[in-house]
Chains A and B, each alone.
Chain A
Amino acid sequence: MSLLPHGVTDVMLASGGAPIDLNHPGHYVHWGVIQISVANLIVIAVMIVLFALAIFLPFPKGRGRR
C-alpha cells in the first residue's frame, strides 16, 4: 500500500514533484563570445514583452475621478 498522498507518484517524487521537470542538462545558444541559456533567453523575451505591454496597453480608467 502506498503511503504517498493521492495523486503523487514515485515518478513525480523522483523528478522533484513538478509537472514540468527542468532538472535536465540545459540548452545553450552560442553566438561569438556570447553564450546564453535558452531558459534565460525565454525570461528576457518575456520581460521585453511585458515591458512593451506595460507601455502600449492603456491605463485602466478610474471612475470619473479625473
Chain B
Amino acid sequence: MTAETQKWAGRTREYDLVKEFVIALLVVSVLTVALAALFSSPDEKQITISTWSRHAPNDFVLTAATELDGTSGTATYGAPYTHTADAAQKIGPVSLQHIAGVTHPVDTVTDFVITPLTGVPADSALTTALGQWQGAGTSQRQRWASSYDDALAKVTDNDPAKVPPGDYGPVPVMLNRLLTMAQSGGLDGALLAQKQFFATDYTKPLLFIADGSYLEDRARAQHLGGDQWGMMNETGNYPGQAWLWLYTFWYQVKPFSTSPNADALVWGLMALLSLALVLVPFIPGVRSIPRWVPVHRLIWRDYYRGMRPPDGYLSASDVARPVQVSRRPIGGQVHDDDAGADAGRDREHDDGEAAGASGYGGRSV
C-alpha cells in the first residue's frame, strides 16, 4: 500500500462543515442587510455627455475639437480602438495590445462628430457646414480642425466666443451644434445607438467623456486618480476596494509612477505575483512559512495541545528558535523537508502533524 492510499490511523474529530456554512451565511446576510440599511450606498450621480456639456461647455467644445483633428486621447490610443502606430503600452518589446489588434474600432471624427450631427433635423446652417466638410479633402479638413483646436486652446477659459477670426471652415458651426445636441442629451443617445435592443455598450460615450478634463477633475476630487491610490477608494466616505492595495501600490512608486508603460508593467508584475501565489506549495522556502509561523497550530490548539511538534515544525511558543531540518526515512526513502513537492505530499500522509499545516489536519468532515 502506498503512502497515498494508506488509511488515516491517527486521531479524528467531527466537524460540521454544513452547520458552519449555514451559520456563516446567515450572519453575513443579516450583516449585509443591516449595514445597507444603516449606511446605504454611494450615491454619486452618473456623469453623462449631457451633464458634462452643461457643466463644462468649454471643455466639451475643446475636447470635440481634438476629436475632429485627431489629437484626442482616444484618437491616438492605439489598439483596441485605433491603428495608431507605437501608441500601445509595452512590456519590454512585447505589446499585448497590438497582439490582440483593433477589436473595437473608433473613428473619432466620424463616430463622435459627423455621424451624430447628420441626425440633427431642420438646421440649414448645419447642413451647409456638413456639406462643406464632406466636400473638402482630408488635408483641408485637418487644417480647419487643427487651426480651430489651436485657437481654442489659447483663449481664456477655452471659450469659443473668444476665438479670434480665422480659417476654420465649418468647424465652429459643427462644434456649436454638437454642443447644443450634447446639452439636450441627444449625443448620449446617438453614441449609444446600437443594433441590439438593450443599450449596454457605453464605450463611445465613455471614451468621449474621458478625453475631456471634466471627468478626470471630478475623479481626482474624489481621490480616484491613479496616483492617489484610486483603485482602493470609493466616492464619498465609503470604504473602497482595500484588497487592491498591492495593485495600486505599484503605481505610486518608480519606475511605474513615471513610466508610459505603467499599466502594462503593473499588470505583468501582478500576473507574475499571482502565479507565484498559485505555486506557493511548490516554491521552496515560501511553502515552509506555515512551519515558521504556525498559525494553524494556534487555531487547532486543542488538537495540538500536549503533542510534541514533529521535526522541523515549531510550536507557537517556539517561533524564535532556529528551524531544525530533518532527514528521516519516509516510505523507504529519505527526504529533505524542502526537497520537493513530492516529499511534502508524502510527509503529509505520513504524519498527522504535518497534515495540520493544510488547515485540515486530523479532522474528518
Partner-B contacts on A (CB < 8 A): 16-28, 33-40, 42-44, 54-55, 58-59, 62, 65-66
Contacts and interface: CB of A to CB of B under 8 A. Distances in A.
Contact of B242 (A16, A26, A44): A44
11 contacts: A16-B40, A17-B40, A22-B238, A26-B234, A26-B236, A28-B223, A35-B252, A37-B233, A42-B239, A55-B299, A66-B14
Nearest to A19: B38
Majority secondary structure of chain A interface residues (helix, strand, loop or mixed): loop
Contacts, number: 83
Contact of B42 (A23, A27, A40, A59): A23
Interface of B: 13-14, 16, 37-44, 222-223, 228-229, 232-240, 242, 252-253, 295, 298-299, 302
A20 B235 CA distance: 15
Nearest to B238: A22
A37 B38 contact: no
Given A23-B237, A35-B229, A62 B14 contact: yes
A1 to B, nearest CB: 26
A44 B298 CA distance: 22
A23 B14 CA distance: 47
Contacts of B302: 58-59
Contact of B232 (A17, A40, A54, A59): A40
B236 A25 contact: yes
B228 A35 contact: yes
B13 A66 contact: yes
Nearest to B236: A23
Contact of A22 (B223, B237, B252, B298): B237
Nearest to B241: A40
B237 A24 contact: yes
A35 B236 contact: no
Contacts of B232: 36-37, 40
A21 B37 CA distance: 11
Given A17-B40, A26-B223, A44-B242, A36 B229 contact: yes
Given A55-B298, A66-B14, A39 B228 contact: no
Nearest to A21: B40
Given A26-B233, A27-B237, A20 B38 contact: yes
A40 B299 CA distance: 27
Nearest to A38: B237
A47 B237 CA distance: 18
Most B Cβ at <10 Å: residue of A22, A33, A34: A22
Contacts of A28: 223
A24 B236 contact: yes
Contacts of A17: 40
B234 A39 contact: yes
